[in-house]
Amino acid sequence: MIDLDPLLERVGDARIVLLGEASHGTHEYHAWRSRISKRLIAEKGFRFVAVEGDWPDCMAVNRALRKPEPPIAAALSAFERWPTWMWANWEVAALGEWMRSEPARGRQVGFYGLDVYSIYESMDAVLRHLGENHPDQVERARQAYACFDPYRNDPIDYARATVWASADWEDEVVDVLARLLESRTNGTSEDDPDAHFDAEVNARVAADAERYYRAMVRGSSESWNVRDVHMMDTLDLLVERFGKAIVWAHNTHVGDARWTDMARRGMTNLGQLARERHGEENVFVLGFGSYEGSVIAGEAWGAPMRRMAVPPAEKGSWETDLHARSSEDRLILDFTDEDEEPRGHRAIGVVYDPASESYGNYVPTVVPRRYDAFLYLDRTTALHPLHPSWPGAATRPDTYPFGV
């Protein structure tokens, strides 16, 4: 078993700890992030886990943490947006049950989503909040959001309309957010502060998602940057409100983009922005990787999830180099001069084709600069989805809670 004491010592007084993953569908990445998160919460006073997930879905889990029932797995099962397995899995359920136990020991911790995809769910949440707390604002907001109703089946259709028909309702969604912020800052908001904060973040999601989908159909790196800036802005709001933060997201988001080929393409990311905004001494980034194993992924966007084999890493890659040195799992806190050379670093997304991974699954990386430390796991296994379509999903695996 890898000793985490040196890692906790190296984290020191950092207020933001970013925990990566080399794929979204790997059991061991979730399990190790859970072990590390528990210790950060229990020993260093971290207050919440923020993930690469949608705000409304994660808020449902956050609310479930405050109650003894139902099981956290029930709240996670409500995740319907593809890829459901990213967060609706037994590994996250196990961490949630532990987090639920924390208030009894005086450490109430939260679970929040940083992502930008939930444009319609967030709009609906804002309208519900206004209807219950600010009836004078609800009709104006409904009219602003109604512009998007024809595109509810697919927000990308809205984005295409902005190209071909010059339809653009950016000002409308920003106006809803501005009015919510104004009602808080001028003291006219009488609703629960937590509920108002939730509505504000949902209004921000709606505004940034509108920009994201417009940028997506225009190509370039703009949509990526809109998304990661939104995640950083949301993280900043959470840090300001609650304190020390743990972030779970893919290596491509948490590993500083300036030390990859992303920089050459004009892309930024969460890790770079966190270091720039908060100072490198206040941010700790842990990257993850493995040599071979299995993973949950889809063959195409929206395709059914399935367990896939992850072949041995490509020759010349970071993972192959680590495997050649030793096949033992290990935590790397101190790098060698040789590690400073840029090399391919495997990144598996929600869409994966093991047979052709050499054509797009390796990110040129200076690993010691991209991360503060690296957790290498020689062989990894697929995680355990909760989705009803997955065989045995309704039954806790025999290994639950996986030692997390």
pLDDT in tens, 240-267: 999 999 999 999 999 999 999 999 999 9
Residue 210: phi and psi, rounded to 5, are: -60, -45
Q: Is the pLDDT of residue 165 over 50?
A: no
pLDDT (mean) for 172-181: 70
The 10 Å CB-count burial string (b at 16+, else e) for 135-164 is eebbeebbebbebbeebeeebeebbbbbee
Q: Is the pLDDT of residue 189 over 60?
A: no
Write out pLDDT tens, residues 281-315.
999 999 999 999 999 999 999 999 999 999 999 99
Q: Which of 196-210, 285-299, 334-348 has the least mean pLDDT? A: 196-210
Q: Is the pLDDT of residue 363 over 60?
A: yes
pLDDT (mean) for 354-370: 94
3 state SS of 364? strand
Here the tokens at position 208 are 């940034």
According to the model, what pLDDT value does residue 184 have? Answer: 61
286 forms beta bridges with: 19, 373
How confident is the prediction for the chain on average, in pLDDT?
A: 89
**Inter-axis angle of helices 90-101 and 55-65, nearest 10:** 40
Write out pLDDT tens, residues 219-248.
668 899 999 999 999 999 999 999 999 999
Here the tokens at position 390 are 């997955």
CB-based contacts of 151: which residues, under 8 Å, 6+ apart?
157, 158, 161
Q: How far is CA 85 from the centre of its chain?
A: 13
- Domain regions of the chain by residue span: 5-114+249-380, 119-221
pLDDT (mean) for 18-36: 97
Indicate the pLDDT class of residue 400, thresholds 50, 70 and 90: low
Instruction: Decide yes or no: CATH 3.10.20.30 for domain 5-114+249-380.
Output: no
